[in-house]
Amino acid sequence: MKLISRNAAKQSEIFGSVEETTEEEIKDMVNLAHDAYDDWSLRSMSERITILREVYDVLSENSSRLAELITKEMGKPITLAENEVKDTLKHILWGLDNAEELLKPEITYEDDEQMQKVVYAPRGVSVVISPFNFPFSLSCDLAFKNMIVGNTVINKPDPNLPLLTELLDKLFRSTNLPKGVQQFVYGGREIGDILVNQDINMICFTGNTKTGEHLYRVAAEKMIPILMELGGSAPGIVLEDADIDKVIKGMYGKKFSTMGQLCHALKRLIVHESLFDDVVNRLKEIAESQVIGDPMDRDTTMGPLVNEAQLSKLMEQLEDAKNKGAKVICGGNRPINGENYFEATIVTNVARDMRIWNEEVFGPVLPVVSFKTEEEAIELANDTIYGLGSYIYTTDVKKFERIGKRINTGMVGFNNVAYSAPYNPFGGTKRSGIGRTRGKWGLMYLCDIKTISYDKTV
């Protein structure tokens, strides 16, 4: 079976195809990964990092090629694709520069007779499964972090971007990275199921919550650790003292960047009643100024959604809201017939039984509701099964801290200050995942923590 590479902006245009990985090939890859682990895990971290710096350099030299394929296969405007590659390389470099210091052995106790030490040991063969929305970032950053700590990696990126995966495969193979340390699998859900049911030691998954729940059961049966960053429905609370002039553009971007296909995007806007009309009107003005078109054009600010399935689900969610009384303030249409584009859409008169409120909306549709009291805002923010990110807009630090403590998410942003950074942990609560990526916490999660006691009397 072949994976077909389609132009996200023109689905009838086919760029090429790649053969799907077979079950026998997967079994061979797992065996090779175990063999490679025996050597890779015993090398010093310094030696591993030296080799991985060469891989980093090769990826950096090919950043333009990577960004172009992201745009062509996924639909992200080229300027955003370039930013993804640039930011990911910064995250990878942070790991290469800091891991040795962060994961150095720690002495927990010592006297004249004994010494107790904690070391961070690799786990073994780690499977990395990533989605389409940040295809370079979510496959490569976790792969590097796994390899830094001594794990070997079998990497299955999203099947919507087979040519990007093929290019990454070739680039990794062109370096001096030992055979079997990092391998790529081509395929969708069925291939992923075959992969995770092999003799592996860890699963690292980024994607939707339903698939995450399935993989959680797989990991439980195997009694192996799992790292998951899943769906989100981030609330944005706009308090009555918010500086709207200062935050409105960033507020818009936190929802509509990457056409709303972002796990921790602002997906439910909760605005104080005194600011409601002003915020909605300003967001409408920004939404209607967007340039929808060819994502390879540098003037384009909104490209297509990745595929028809994403668009269909989004339209179903919006139609459900309209049927239940929601009001579409702007957008709500497919501007280019037959393709997967959708306008930036703002919706009011939103009720809690609407799908755009109680499901993750992975596209450019933003529900906006009002509140009177702080208590009501907090209750609305927490009214979700998800707990990834959240945003609070205010000019009062004490209010931010007071409310932030009560929002049940893994991350809370103050106005437009980004919490997504290489040195910060990234992850959520509730059905938004388990564990953390990034920062020292992300590195540690990929390790077995081992206690070693020394006899100092010999």
111: three-class secondary structure by DSSP: coil
- The mean pLDDT value for 104-120 works out to 97
- The mean pLDDT value for 139-154 works out to 98
Decide if pLDDT at 437 tops 90: yes
The residues annotated as belonging to the active site are 229, 263
DSSP code per residue over 242-274: --HHHHHHHHHHHHHGGGG--TTSEEEEEEETT
pLDDT single digits (tens) 311-324? 999 999 999 999 99
Distance separating alpha carbons of residues 43 and 196, to the nearest angstrom: 26
Residue 410: burial class (beta carbons within 10 Å; 0-12, 13-18, 19+): buried
DSSP annotation of 346: E
Which pLDDT belongs to residue 4? 97
Superfamily, domain 2-230+432-455: Aldehyde Dehydrogenase; Chain A, domain 1 (3.40.605.10)
Decide if pLDDT at 3 tops 90: yes
Which pLDDT belongs to residue 255? 97
- The mean pLDDT value for 89-115 works out to 97
Decide if pLDDT at 338 tops 90: no
The model's confidence at residue 101, banded by pLDDT at 50, 70 and 90, is: very high
Is the Cβ–Cβ distance between 78 and 9 less than 8 Å? no
56: three-class secondary structure by DSSP: helix
Distance separating alpha carbons of residues 59 and 351, to the nearest angstrom: 47
Nearest Cα residue to 210 out of 428, 60, 432, 3: 432
The model's confidence at residue 143, banded by pLDDT at 50, 70 and 90, is: very high
Cβ atoms within 10 Å, residue 190: 11
Which pLDDT belongs to residue 151? 98
Is the Cβ–Cβ distance between 97 and 53 less than 8 Å? no
Which pLDDT belongs to residue 337? 84
pLDDT single digits (tens) 340-384? 999 999 999 999 999 999 999 999 999 999 999 999 999 999 999
pLDDT single digits (tens) 399-423? 999 999 999 999 999 999 999 999 9
234-421 maps to CATH 3.40.309.10? yes
- The mean pLDDT value for 165-173 works out to 98
Q: Which residue has the tokens 């040195």?
A: 423
Strands (E), 364-435: 365-371, 386-387, 391-393, 413-414, 429-430, 433-434
- The mean pLDDT value for 183-200 works out to 98
Distance separating alpha carbons of residues 188 and 198, to the nearest angstrom: 16
- The mean pLDDT value for 126-130 works out to 98
Is the Cβ–Cβ distance between 120 and 149 less than 8 Å? yes
Residue spans of the domains in the chain: they are 2-230+432-455, 234-421
